[in-house]
Chains A and B, each alone.
Chain A
């Protein structure tokens, strides 16, 4: 039971470099999410997807792009990394529901710890 798998687990970048974080889920969930977690600020939603080929902006989308080419994968890209993007990034997925997005549990990966120097 892999659930939600995030790669890599750790990464150090220099300012201006680019990278892609990969999230894979094996639960056939429709919905997938990317969050960042900073001390004292809780989880903040970056982008999310309600199905293959669809993406939408969350609370803090600037500086990030996402793609959902396959249902099981959700990629988060940093085009030009900045020190303010140093954070722990979590991916999550959940089942589709009839009319609301909030009545199903979210399943999280164990995060990617990203430092930008």
Chain B
């Protein structure tokens, strides 16, 4: 069956460092993969979409990679700030009529 895995343990890093979050998927080949940010008590907010033929996508301090061989996407935040603290969700296309979301990884940036 299709499976999406994100590290359930929180990632703690120091301000100014690069945060790297991982999204692994198994048993299928998504054509697209989306990343969202979710703050406590709020709904998810779209950040980036990457297509299977794009190895990398950037937006300001954010970078997403998509390795279809490893079946993995990496989400990077460079020069991280305490305001980047949130839960980050990946959502690979599963061929169904809606997105399927991973359970998310919580990022905590320490000042």
Structural contact, B97 and A90, CB atoms closer than 8 A: no
* B99 in the interface (beta carbon within 8 A): yes
Complex: how many Å from CA A6 to CA B31? Answer: 31
Structural contact, A102 and B89, CB atoms closer than 8 A: no
Stretch at the interface among A41-49, A61-69, A73-81: A41-49
Measured between beta carbons, the chain B residues less than 8 angstroms from A106 are: 34, 44, 46, 99
Structural contact, B98 and A45, CB atoms closer than 8 A: yes
* B51 in the interface (beta carbon within 8 A): yes
Structural contact, B97 and A111, CB atoms closer than 8 A: no
Complex: how many Å from CA A110 to CA B45? Answer: 10
Complex: how many Å from CA A41 to CA B8? Answer: 10
Return the contact of B46 from the options A41, A45, A101, A107 (Cβ within 8 A): A107
Return the contact of A56 from the options B91, B94, B97, B104 (Cβ within 8 A): B97
Structural contact, B44 and A108, CB atoms closer than 8 A: yes
* B62 in the interface (beta carbon within 8 A): no
Shortest C-beta distance, B70 to chain A (Å), equals: 20
Shortest C-beta distance, B35 to chain A (Å), equals: 10
* B93 in the interface (beta carbon within 8 A): yes
Measured between beta carbons, the chain B residues less than 8 angstroms from A41 are: 103
What 1/0 flags go to B42-69 for Cβ under 8 Å of A?
Answer: 1111100101000000000000000000
The chain B residues found within 8 Å of chain A, CB to CB, are 8, 30-32, 34, 41-46, 49, 51, 89, 91, 93-94, 96-104
The chain A residues found within 8 Å of chain B, CB to CB, are 4, 31, 33, 35, 40-43, 45, 48, 50, 56, 58-59, 90, 92, 100-103, 105-111
List the 5 closest A-B pairs by CB distance, nearest first. A108-B43, A102-B93, A42-B103, A105-B46, A43-B101
